[in-house]
Amino acid sequence: MKFLKKLVLSAFFASSLLATSANAGDCKARLGDFDWSSANIHTAISQFILEKGYGCEVSVTKGSTTPIMAAHYDKQLDVITEVWYDNIIANYEPHEKAGTIKNIGVNTPDSQQAFYVDKATADKYNLKSVMDMKDPKIAALFKDPEDPSKGRMTSCISGWTCYTVNLVKQKEYGLDAFYTNFDPGSGGALDAAIAGAFAKKKPIFTYYWAPTGLMGKVDLVRLTEPKFDADCWNNMSAVVEDIKANGPDAYKKSCACEYRDMALTKSVLTDWAKAHPAETAFLEKYTIPTAVVNKMLAFYEDESDGDMELTAKEFLKTESMWKSWVPADVASKVTAAL
């Protein structure tokens, strides 16, 4: 934890030099952001409204799930605008029960995570379930160039909790005998691996999620898994957190089931929320339909050239829902800043 704290603090001070502020007053907000696009969009929109509408001095620290959430639990980051709650429940709940942090409602109402195969391969070989993947001839279709004895399952990033979830799932399903749990290195590299396979018309077996812009551009077939079961998931999550803390050798036989389709949420430090009731009220009301998030992701990827501030401005200019999140005077200030 000390190492993580130092790592996050270093990132925090570096990012603070780049953070912009406008009309900064008594409000200071330290936002935690992640290394995937949907989180970036929510952070950018929240930052713009907090700065331009409320006069907050905002800093943004970006990183993978584990260090960013550790900094939030340790009171180094005030606001997290996109929380994949089910993935981190074993770590999040104790801090929530202790009163350090609070869940402030839904960010995006519908999200999915799963294992997928490209439709052409799924149709050709009748692949419908993760259990259908347990065949050496099928695994050979997805040969890992770094370990040709196995197929490659392109997974999450090692700093994301889902990487370890996938590792445990592979072991529980018996997929680890046939596939590597390949870390592509970044969210962008994961997207590139999927898009590249489709461009070259090559098979791909991958973890992926929605909302994303890419999901609307490629044809992936979701593989079925055992139905979500809360007890199973909680038992698996305990093993996942043990591995994250102590390494792969900490794995113990557990169980596995599908990711639950879930609403993404938001989180704040309880002390910050008490000190900033107006800003917290805005963040509590902040919620964007999944279809709109997908539209903004497509704009970000296809039109903004990866510019998150430009994407935030596009949302604020073309959508009116955000005006119901804030008082009229705040809305006026944000509109003027556009």
The continuous run of DSSP H or E covering 61 comes out as: strand 57-63
Domains in the chain: ranges and CATH: 2-110+262-337 (3.40.190.10), 111-250 (3.40.190.100)
Beta carbons of 182 and 153 less than 8 angstroms apart? yes
Q: What are the pLDDT digits (tens) for 115-172?
A: 999 999 999 999 999 999 999 999 999 999 999 999 999 999 998 999 999 999 999 9
Please identify which residue in the block is written with the tokens 């900490």. Answer: 250
Annotate 278-313 with three-state secondary structure: HHHHHHHHCCCCHHHHHHHHHHHHHCCCCCHHHHHH
Q: Given pLDDT bands bounded at 50, 70 and 90, which one contains residue 14?
A: very low
Q: Is the pLDDT of residue 9 over 80?
A: no
| pLDDT of 194 higher than 90 | yes
Predicted confidence band at 25 (pLDDT cuts at 50, 70, 90)? low
pLDDT, one tens digit per residue, over 318-337 is 999 999 999 999 999 999 99
Structure tokens at 225: 């898994």
pLDDT higher than threshold 90 for residue 11: no
From CA 165, how far away is CA 168, in angstroms rounded?
5
Residue 269 CB partners (closer than 8 Å, separation 6+):
72, 75, 77, 78, 79, 100, 101
> For 53-63, what is the mean pLDDT?
97
Pairing of strands 147-154, 179-182: parallel
Share of the chain above pLDDT 90, in %: 78
- Most confident by average pLDDT, 97-101, 188-192, 303-307: 97-101
Tokens 């490659």 appear where? 152
Please give the pLDDT value at position 271.
Answer: 98
Give the pLDDT of residue 217. Answer: 83
pLDDT at 212 over 60: yes
What is the enclosing helix (H) or strand (E) of 207? Answer: strand 205-210
Q: Which pLDDT score is estimated for 17?
A: 34
Structure tokens given for 323:
């005006």
